[in-house]
Structure 1
Amino acid sequence: MTKFLLAVHVLAAIVAIGPVTVAASMFPPAARRVLDDAGDDRASATLHTLHRICRVYAGVGIVVPVFGFATASSLGVLGDAWLIVSIVLTALAAGVLAALILPGQNALTAGDASAGPEATRRLGMYTGLFNLLWATVTVLMIVRPGSTTGV
């Protein structure tokens, strides 16, 4: 059962978090194109599509920690420091996505007048932070400090 839980956890991370990471990274440059040429329907459609990908896959991404906890429980590692740090970093990444990235994207796709070039720069910074948090969690999941597997 542990192998199944781990497989679902890893596949969910790839399928759900990967698209959010890529789409969120592509969003600020796409938003700048829309701000530079508000009449560009193709750029606007791209912006809306990227925002939708982030929203939908963020919802699907809840599967990752659910199966992560189930996997950790079956492996008996819920109290390990590397896992606790990973949980905290995952929560921070989710918070950055929910509180900063998605609302920022929403403002830019809604044509909020206050959402200008400064907003795209902030959104790029938040996206970089989100990506850095996920990259750190990924490394912790692979390296697992204190692991006895020899890795």
Structure 2
Amino acid sequence: MTKFLLAVHVLAAIVAIGPVTVAASMFPPAARRALAAPEDPRAAETVQLLLRICRVYAVVGVAVPVFGFATAKNMGVLGDTWLIVSIALTALAAVVLVALVLPRQTALAEALEEGRGAEAAPAATHRATVRLAMFTGQFNLLWAAVTVLMIVRPGSTTGA
């Protein structure tokens, strides 16, 4: 059962977290292009698509910690320091995504949809995309740290 749970946990991480990290990383430059060319409907459509991917896969991503907890319980490692740190970093990544990334993506997408991109001050929209890129980078780095902890597992007796 542990192998099954671990496999589902890893697959969920790849299928759910991968698209969010990629789409979120693509969003700031796509938003900059769309804001710079408000007459290009494809640019705005790209921004909307990336936002939808981030929202949907953020919800699907809930499966990752669910199966992670089940796997950890079966393995008897719930109290291990590496896992507790991983849980904390995962929670922090979720907060960054939900509180900092998705709302800024939504605001930029709404500005584009309402045609405010062309009217907004270029410096303000540039700052908004730069901040979004910064928070997206933080989200991605948190997931990278969790991935490393999951692979290395300090103190593990598996020899890895």
Verify same fold: TM over 0.5.
yes
After TM superposition, the score normalised by the length of structure 1 is 0.98
Note the C-alpha offset of 1:84. 0.2
Structure 2 gap ranges (5+): none
Tell me if 1:65 matches 2:74. Answer: no
Aligned to 2:18: 18
Q: CA deviation at 1:144?
A: 0.1
For structure 1, which runs of at least 5 residues remain unmatched after alignment? none
Matching of residue 95 in structure 1 with residue 95 in structure 2: yes
The amino acid of 1:111's aligned partner reads A
Aligned twin of 1:124: 133
- Work out which of the residue numbers 138, 144, 152 in structure 2 matches 1:143: 152
Cα deviation 1:113-137 (Å, max 9, x = unaligned): 5661111000000000000000000
Amino acid at match of 1:77: V
Report runs of 4+ in structure 1 exceeding 2 Å deviation: 112-115
> Matches of residues 21-100 of structure 1 in structure 2 within 5 Å?
21-100=21-100
Where in structure 2 are the equivalents of 1:102-117 lying within 5 Å?
A: 102-111=102-111, 113=116, 116-117=125-126
What is the distance in 1 between the residues matched to 2:62 and 2:154? 25
Partners of 1:106 and 1:33 in 2: CA distance: 16
Q: CA RMSD in A?
A: 1.1
CA distance in 2, matches of 1:39, 1:102: 25
Distance in structure 2 (CA, Å) of the matches to 1:99 and 1:144:
29
Q: Computing the radius of gyration over CA atoms, which structure comes out larger, 1 or 2?
A: 2
**TM-fit CA distance, 1:57:** 0.2
What per-residue deviation string (whole Å, max 9, x for no partner) do you get for residues 80-121 of structure 1? 000000000000000000000000000000017566111100
Q: 2:141 is paired with a residue of what secondary structure?
A: helix
- SS at structure 2 position matched to 1:111: helix
For 1:30 and 1:106, locate their aligned partners in 2 and report how far apart those are by CA, in whole Å. Answer: 13
Q: How many residues align?
A: 151
| % identical aligned pairs | 74
Determine the C-alpha separation between the residues in 2 that align with 1:104 and 1:77: 37
